[in-house]
Amino acid sequence: MSGTARFITVEGIEGVGKTTQVARLSEFLGGQGIAHVVTREPGGTPLAESIRQVVLTVGEESVPGTAELLLMFAARAVHLANYIRPNLNADRWVICDRFTDASYAYQGGGRGLPSDHIHALECMVQGDLRPDLTILLDAPVEHALRRARQRNAGIVEDRFEREKGQFFERVRSAYRARAAAEPQRIAIIDATQNLDAVCALIVGQLKARSWIS
Ligand code: TYD
């Protein structure tokens, strides 16, 4: 992999404004003349997007937590091989809306699957590739879910959006615990602030690493 392309992931529970901030970051990088791509998980390639449909759609049959975890990593293996690594190798930054921290937070924290199983899959699927920077947009669950529900009014909920507040409390705690354990990589940003303030803090993280001037 060549030297300068950065792999940045954006995380948080539903309703924290990830998608908006990913778009803003992309706009900012474009303005700086930095070649980059924007992608998301689960998904990011046609095959991985098909897996996304399978894992998010509410169906008749229940999805065991282990199957959910494996589907997330199956999609990730495809995404890494067919999109993320080729872009990094071509020296394009990759901005990804969710990545493996979401598996630790949702399947680990939310569903209660053991983190050593997740870690084993992380090593198997990613080798030693980890994000260079992870932005954790953090907000109280009640605040975030209110925003998510306003946004989703009239849209059919997916398998995660149907979950209750307690599930998202566990997800949020797991995210925060990961940030506490890896403060160099994961920057927590208070997502209750206005969009401009959040965007400025994200850009500040890039500046702090001297990735941009
Ligand atoms: P996303 O499209 O980011 O949802 P939203 O825009 O509503 O926040 O992600 C879809 C869902 O997939 C989200 O509820 C979190 C879940 N997810 C996992 O449970 N594990 C994972 O590893 C990933 C990448 C996502």
pLDDT digits (tens, 9 = 90+) for 119-167: 999 999 999 999 999 999 999 999 999 999 998 888 888 999 999 999 9
pLDDT at position 100: 98
Q: Residue 43 Cα, ligand 1 centroid: separation in angstroms?
A: 10
Ligand 1: centre distance to CA 213 (Å): 32
In the chain, domain spans: 7-208
d(CA 32, CA 66): 42
Greater confidence (187 vs 151) lies with 187
Q: Is the CB of 97 under 6 A from ligand 1?
A: yes
Atom of ligand 1 nearest to the CA of 106: 19
Reported as a single tens digit per residue, the pLDDT across 14-39 is: 999 999 999 999 999 999 999 999 99
As a whole number of angstroms, the distance between CA 81 and CA 86 comes to: 7
Q: What number of other Cβ atoms are within 10 A of residue 102's Cβ?
A: 24
Q: What are the strands of the beta sheet with 7-11, ordered from one edge?
A: 36-40, 93-97, 7-11, 133-138, 186-190
Given CATH 3.40.50.2300, say whether it is the number of domain 7-208: no
Confidence at residue 24, expressed as pLDDT on a 0 to 100 scale: 98
**For 31-66, how does the pLDDT look when each residue is reduced to its tens digit (9 = 90+)?**
999 999 999 999 999 999 999 999 999 999 999 999
Residue range 187-202: mean pLDDT, rounded: 98
Is the C-beta atom of 42 inside 6 A of ligand 1?
Answer: yes
pLDDT at residue 213, as a whole number: 86
Residue nearest atom 7 of ligand 1, based on CA coordinates: 14
pLDDT above 50 (res 1) = no
What local confidence, expressed as pLDDT, does residue 152 receive? 87
